[in-house]
A = this chain, B = another copy of it.
Amino acid sequence: MSAPIVTAGLLVIGDEILSGRTKDVNIAATAEFCTDLGIALSEVRVVPDEEDMIVAAVNVLRTGYTYVFTTGGIGPTHDDITAEAIAKAFGVDLPINAEARAILEARWNETGTEITNARLRMARIPEGAELIVNAVSAAPGFRIGNVHVMAGVPVIMRAMLEAIAPTLQGGQKVDSRTVSAAVGEGALGDPLAEIQSRYDDVKIGSYPQMGHTHILTHLVLRSADIARLDEATAEVQALVDALHAKKNITLPKEPY
């Protein structure tokens, strides 16, 4: 399997995701972002606003993957503890960063906003980190080592992803093909496994589609080798065509 060599781990930080109060959308956004850049998102973890758990997860992910992305916990309130946790994970101090403070003060002056201790929390950046600009609400994220610390608010998170995109080294671009089958996974499983066994360099995934009036399966093939991808896709398409023909079906009623 010609695995992409550039990998990433995502750490979603926030009690509100785990309580169900907020529905996360940053996992999907990061997954699409990585796929577009040829980076294999290899693992996601969601942890609460608890320092020990953030530190442990960051330290595991940053040694296991090329890049780590974190979302959440960089605002001005007492439950925003991501910057402390990252500083602790890297064993560095967390001073007020002059550049971050200048960016924030410029925005605060514009809007006549008082400088408070709470607001200044957002200018604390781990020693040795570089800022990630926040086009939306000024308060910056930061990159330290291979860890990119970003906001949890989706619109800010997406803006920060755009900001860091040019700094990331993409991997081998993996292309994909989809074959739609009007039969269930049960009918496809055996011959599909046989095809997969002959294509080490193509990953074949099978995704049942529920909630249709008939069951339909999407077979998704992925590979960095386009010629092999097209070859495997042709085989899968032939398999599906044969199953359709054999069963003479357009609207099957198979369970899977």
Of the candidates B20, B33, B49, B255, which one forms a contact with A138 in the assembled complex, judged by CB atoms under 8 Å apart?
Answer: B255
Q: Which of B77, B153, B187 contacts A192 (CB 8 A)?
A: B77
Measured between alpha carbons, how far is A60 from B166 in the docked complex, in Å?
36
Task: Tell me whether B253 and A189 are in contact (CB under 8 A).
Answer: no
Q: Is the CB of A186 within 8 A of B116?
A: yes
Query: Which residues 90-146 in A have Cβ within 8 Å of B in the complex?
Result: 107-108, 111, 113-114, 116-119, 121-122, 136-139
User: Residue among A16, A80, A155, A156 with the most chain B CB within 10 A?
Assistant: A16
Counted per complex, copies of this chain come to: 2
- Chain B nearest CB from A152 CB (Å) reads 9
A232, B200: Cα distance in complex, Å: 59
Q: Is the CB of B24 within 8 A of A113?
A: no
Interface residues on A, range: 35 or more
- Note all chain B residues with C-beta closer than 8 A to A186: 76, 113, 116, 118-119, 122
Q: Contact mask A25-62 → B, CB, 8 Å, 1/0? A: 00110011111000011111111110001000000000
Chain B residues with CB under 8 A of A206: 75, 77-80
Nearest chain B CB to A120 CB, angstrom units: 9
Q: Known contacts A20-B31, A192-B77, A255-B113; is A153 also within 8 Å of B208 by CB?
A: yes
Which residues of B lie under 8 Å from residue A35 when comparing CB positions?
A: 19-20
Collect the chain B residues with CB atoms within 8 Å of residue A136's CB: 210
Chain B residues with Cβ below 8 Å from A34 are 20
Q: Does A203 contact B (CB under 8 A)?
A: yes
Which one of B23, B75, B117, B256 contacts A139 once the chains associate, using CB atoms below 8 Å? B256
Q: What are 20 contact pairs spanning A and B, CB under 8 A?
A: A19-B222, A20-B41, A21-B220, A43-B46, A43-B53, A44-B44, A75-B208, A77-B188, A78-B206, A79-B205, A79-B206, A111-B253, A111-B254, A116-B186, A117-B189, A118-B185, A121-B189, A137-B255, A137-B256, A154-B210
Q: A43-B45, A78-B193, A155-B211 are in contact. List 7 more A-B contacts (CB 8 A).
A: A20-B35, A24-B27, A43-B47, A77-B185, A117-B189, A118-B189, A155-B210
